[in-house]
Amino acid sequence: MTIPPRLRRALVRMRRDLAFVAAGVPLHLVPALLSWWALSLLTDTVTGASPNAPVVLTAPLTLLVIAGYGFTEAQRWRFRAICGVELPRLRFAEGKRQLGYNWLVGPLLGVLEVLLLGLVLVALVAALVLVWVWLVPAQWRGGHPGYTTTGTYLTVLGLLALAAVPPLAAGLVRLEILVGRAVLGVSRSDELARRVEDLTESRAGAVDAADAERRRIERDLHDGAQQRLVSLALNLGLAKATLTDLPPEAQEVIDAAHREAKDAIEELNNLVRGLHPAVLDELGLDAALSGLAARAPLPVRLRVDLPAELPQRTAPAIEAVAYFVVSEALTNVAKHAREATRADVTVTRLAEILRVVIADDGMGGADPSRGSGLKGLAQRVRSVDGTFRMSSPVGGPTMMSVELPCPM
Amino acid sequence: MIAEDSVLLRIGLVKVVEMAGFEVAAEAGDGPELLAAVEEHRPDLAVVDVRMPPGFTDEGVRAALEIRQKWPNTAVLMLSQYVEERYAADLLATNTSGVGYLLKQRVADVEEFIEALRRVAAGGTALDPQVVAQLLVRRASDPLERLTARERDVLALMAEGRSNAGIAAQLVVSESAVAKHINNILAKLDLPKADADHRRVLAVLRFLGVGG
């Protein structure tokens, strides 16, 4: 015999709903009993009806506090295991909601659950009345003529009641989920706050990871390729200095290779230093910036004003961003600023803000929305919640101002 | 005495130093080794890499400072992938004689590097043009503005520790022209006149905010 799928689904659903309701009964009513016990003891204490009531009263009160949390956890389990509804974990200290659920809403729901289960029981008994009526002694049946008609009515009523059970159960479950989410769940704003917290944390992690990666690459290149290149250039230099009796063509080749090697070192040095200068870790931003300013192809005036009495150094991630900003900005000035004859770099620390201003006296007209350099710069500034402003009227001067938060 | 953790480069350095007519007493791969070797051999000159094991940060600078303090007769030439004016300042703060600080890649210009080696070993100063440029960035104001472009070039070369002859060769001018420039610079910056190269370097470095 096969059960049609729709009926099977309905039966499975009903079984689940009833299990949920049944599990709810003790979880909702035990707290109610506990509080009722506590209340009666309290009245005894007040009226003095029972001499040891005050002592006994401590038991339910302690139970109330501890059980509250336990019941909440049990409810979470009930919602998750039976209905697949996730309720957020509440801390023990978040008592208000738990109190509301376990001691106020809970008992009411418990009553509804008991009523529903009672209905199921009564309906079952009524529906099967013609079966169990045979179990009662025969004299009773003899003394009640017409009992079969009454039994048939009862059976029909019972079946009707049974038919009403699934929608009722489903409704009650829906109500419970609604109430549970409203009382035990997280409000939308709490949820968003939590999400923002998570995102902030993961973003900081990403920024740090990228920093660490840059440091690692810098180290690897320094210990590997850069040493090899210097060694290569050195050997070519030695060849140039010692092999003086070579034919001029060979001298020429060695010369060219020597120059190439030196240029490659220069290029790689600038690239690697742009990644993450080692001195930034050791001596901080101020010391690292002079190297940048000195390497710029135009005169740079550098002013760094970091109060010495700061409790601690600026966070490494912020320093790295500030360094990157100056590095990119000076590269931009050198590359794009037409007719720029000088640049000014000013770094100041104002309480919880690190301000970096780069200005040049070029012809202006720089557009931050164009050019990947400026875009990357703005992105990296935003990654640490900094602000990036640029003003570059046609005719100049161009000024870029970046503010980075330095929480104390 | 050579301290450099990259074996490749150490071999090359030994070659260059021997070409310059020095004898290599010992080689070291990190700071403690270097200090032990200096104590044992008391060399005239130690060539030191800044970034060495274990920390690969500024071990070389710290070792160099210790050498200058304990064995003042040993001159120190520091080499580094990047020069930092802060380290130069630390190094020059105690004593400017017999101190050098150059970019590693300068080793490739063998003749010039040998000249710097000899200058430092003889108690002179050899600062990388990059260091001087950084020092000038720090002082990008005040009396420096009064110098002509040519005078600034001469000032930078003086700060590197070069002699009049060296400056003249670099700028392709006569030595007398260099001497004239130098007199102008000293006058404009209110620096004392000094005949000895070394005293002059000292004055210039002090003006740039470093040197004892």
Q: Chain B residue closest to A230 (CA)? A: B105
Contact list, A281 vs chain B (CB under 8 Å): 57
The answer to whether A234 contacts B108, with C-beta atoms less than 8 Å apart, is yes
Distance of CA A284 to the CA centre of its chain: 31
Asked if the model's pLDDT at residue B206 lies above 90, the reply is no
- Dihedral sign for Cα atoms in the order B177, B178, B180, B185: positive
Return the structure tokens found at B161: 């520790």
- pLDDT score for A322: 93
Mean pLDDT of B97-120: 92
Contact list, A277 vs chain B (CB under 8 Å): 82
Q: How far apart (Å, rounded) are the C-alpha atoms in residues B53 and A173?
A: 68
Asked if the model's pLDDT at residue A179 lies above 70, the reply is yes
Question: pTM value?
Answer: 0.70
Cβ-nearest to B51 among A258, A265, A278: A278
Contact list, B110 vs chain A (CB under 8 Å): 234, 237-238, 240-241
- Percentage of chain A exceeding pLDDT 90: 20
Longest dimension (CA), chain A: 140
Burial B60-85 (b: 16+ CB within 10 A, else e): bbbbbbebbeebeebbbbbbbbbbbb
Asked if the model's pLDDT at residue A355 lies above 90, the reply is yes
> Residue B115 is which amino acid?
E
Instruction: Count CB neighbours of A343 within 10 A.
Output: 26
Distance in Å, alpha carbon of A290 to nearest chain B alpha carbon = 5
Higher pLDDT, B146 or A118: A118
Cβ-nearest to A290 among B6, B104, B137: B137
Residues composing chain B: 212
Per DSSP, the residues of A277-343 read -HHHHHH-HHHHHHHHHHHSSS-EEEEEE--TT-SSPPPHHHHHHHHHHHHHHHHHHHHH-TT---E
Helices A372-382 & A316-336 angle (0-180, nearest 10): 160
Q: Which residues contact B133 (CB under 8 A, 6 or more apart)?
A: A294, A295, B156
pLDDT in tens, B39-90: 999 999 999 999 887 777 888 899 999 998 899 999 999 999 999 988 888 8
Q: Chain B residue closest to A263 (CA)? A: B105
Given pLDDT bands bounded at 50, 70 and 90, which one contains residue A371?
low
The answer to whether B51 contacts A222, with C-beta atoms less than 8 Å apart, is yes
The answer to whether A293 contacts B109, with C-beta atoms less than 8 Å apart, is no
Asked if the model's pLDDT at residue B94 lies above 90, the reply is no
The answer to whether A299 contacts B140, with C-beta atoms less than 8 Å apart, is yes
Q: How many CA atoms lie within 13 A of A243 on its CB side?
A: 16
- pLDDT score for A405: 92
Q: How far apart (Å, rounded) are the C-alpha atoms in residues A205 and A220?
A: 22
The answer to whether B85 contacts A287, with C-beta atoms less than 8 Å apart, is yes
**Beta strands, E only, A46-96:** none
Specify whether the CB–CB gap between A291 and A262 falls below 8 A: no
Contact list, A228 vs chain B (CB under 8 Å): 8
Distance in Å, alpha carbon of A405 to nearest chain B alpha carbon = 26
Return the structure tokens found at A233: 């250039």
Q: What is the average pLDDT value for chain A, to the nearest integer? A: 84
CA distances (Å), A42 to each of A30, A32, A34, A50, A92, in order? 18, 15, 12, 10, 25
The answer to whether A269 contacts B137, with C-beta atoms less than 8 Å apart, is no
The answer to whether A222 contacts B85, with C-beta atoms less than 8 Å apart, is no
Q: Which residues contact A27 (CB under 8 A, 6 or more apart)?
A: A71, A74, A75, A78, A106, A110
Q: How far apart (Å, rounded) are the C-alpha atoms in residues B93 and A81?
A: 73
